[in-house]
Chains A and B, each alone.
Chain A
Amino acid sequence: MMEATVTIPPFERFYAEHRDEVYGLLARRLGRQRAEDAFQETFLRALRAYPSLRHGEYLRAWVLTIARNVAVDAFRRERPTAELEEQAELPRRPAYAELEHLTDVLPPTERAAVVLRYAYDMPYAAIGAALGSSEDAARQAASAGVRRLRREETT
């Protein structure tokens, strides 16, 4: 039966499981006041991307990646020139924890695109939705990120 192969949980379960952790992360980074808008934005992006998810694995890491990206956006809007301190809030899973570490050098959007693409195997449509941009922009960000990583490697 088709239903048996669907592994994406109903959004309500996904949301109920991760909302407190997402809220905590955003509150630590942005303060409670600003965390509220960011919280809403994070789960709206997740909801937009949800139908294009191909499997239900690593959903925690996925939504935390979206949340970090939303926090970066919020930070930029307020202090366009400020240096971003990237706190290590990595999901405890070696495969992409490693990829997240290797991509430390990338600008936030490229980093998120590379991680979502190559660590979570997400389609570009879903990445675009998760990053609040388009499928094309997501593809460009991922390939720019990969090029930048290659350059880093050879220098």
Chain B
Amino acid sequence: MTVPTDLDRRFRDAADREGLVDVAYDLADSPVGELLVAVTDRGLCRIAYRPDDAIDELAGDFGARVLRVPRRVDVVRRELDEYFDGRRREFDLTLDLTPVADFHRLALHELARVPYGQVTTYGALATQVGKPHAARAIGGAMNRNPIPIVLPCHRVVGANGKLVGYAGGLERKELLLRLEGALL
């Protein structure tokens, strides 16, 4: 017997209200495909291009009580919509990076300062975090960026200007950069 939609929603809201949810998420449509968007009590913790895998990873990182609670990600969804509409250049969101290793977190903090519509290189970011020879490690940090788009790893390219790589696939990287007017 199928659970009525309304009852299903009420359970999800009640679970969230009672503070029983480690991670709340929802799926959001976007020009770069369906995204999983997830938040904890601390803030936005995940944007994922592969929702199914992300649900398991979230359980490992934050606790097994991962539940889809659409209204919890409304703010993030709105900012993403504005970004994809070209009406937003910076995100105004609190982030939860607790599972991220120290060096990677440092790299992501530097990354967050790369402005809309501009690109930088792995080497330049390495220099900024004080490890000029760690371009490869920076690449690893970008590859495992838990919050792509908001933390703009699509703005990091190779020294020769080539797009090089993107965990979500190069088409997405190119699309994001075009959207921002960084590619002609």
A interface vs B, CB < 8 Å? 2-3, 6, 8-13, 15, 19-20, 23-24, 27, 36, 39-40, 43-44, 47-48, 50-51
Contacts and interface: CB of A to CB of B under 8 A. Distances in A.
B119 to A, nearest CB: 34
Contacts of B14: 40, 44
Given A10-B66, A20-B1, A43 B59 contact: no
Given A19-B8, A36-B7, A40-B11, A10 B55 contact: yes
Given A10-B66, A40-B7, A3 B1 contact: no
B20 A23 contact: no
- The 6 A-B pairs at the shortest CB distance, nearest first, are namely A24-B1, A10-B59, A10-B66, A3-B60, A47-B20, A23-B3
Contact of B20 (A8, A9, A44): A44
Nearest to B58: A10
B89 to A, nearest CB: 33
Contacts, number: 65
Nearest to A2: B60
Interface of A is mostly: helix
Contacts of A9: 59, 64
Contact of B63 (A23, A43, A51): A51
B11 A39 contact: yes
Interface of B: 1-4, 7-8, 10-11, 14-15, 18, 20-21, 55-56, 58-60, 63-68
A3 B59 CA distance: 9
A10 B56 contact: yes
Contact of A27 (B1, B55, B56): B1
Contact of B3 (A6, A20, A51): A20
Nearest to B52: A13
Contacts of A11: 59, 64-67
Nearest to B54: A10
B130 to A, nearest CB: 30
B1 A51 contact: no
Contacts of A50: 64-65
Nearest to B60: A3
B6 to A, nearest CB: 9
Contacts of B8: 19
A130 to B, nearest CB: 13
B20 A12 contact: no
